[in-house]
Structure 1
């Protein structure tokens, strides 16, 4: 069985390296700090779950995930942020742009549970 594909965007390289190291054994992990590349991955790969930091230069995670959802309506999206009470994050959660909000530092278990709960449950599942 092919690994499920996930993507993570963060402007801090150390966070990208840590995310990849934590999840690469179980999933096909794409990590980037570039919003355009993030959207290209969403468009071209069978991504099931997307994770984004909120505060990045030039954009926010909620804005980026809203654009990603336009490209892939069945995408499961989550914010990973040190500021989970941010008004924009809470509004995106209430409006359904994001499915979950994880506070930094997150645990491997909570991210894994989100991926497992949201893999293969939609008409566009890649498995």
Structure 2
């Protein structure tokens, strides 16, 4: 049953990632991958909140929303590819900023969501 929940969560997360990425990127005339950054930070917020809920969250919900949805919504491989592509295009500033902002904002989003949710549930 857990595998089915992961599958269902991924069925929602993957298309949402694609659509959000395209929508956000279409609004920016820049080499910087704003769409990927947006979905990754959103996924960090959701997963941080799920983790912050701790044992108050049933395991099946974590499988559905955490592993399935967030796993399909966020994308480390695309982040890595886009950073490499920026480097190949000699857009070194954008490549460095993509790496730095993705890591710092992602960790910050997880920390914010985790601590907020943990405080609300405790």
Higher relative contact order (CA 8 A, sep 6+): 2
Question: What TM-score comes out, normalization by structure 2 length?
Answer: 0.32
Question: What TM-score comes out, normalization by structure 1 length?
Answer: 0.31
Structure number with higher strand proportion: 1
Structure number with higher helix proportion: 2
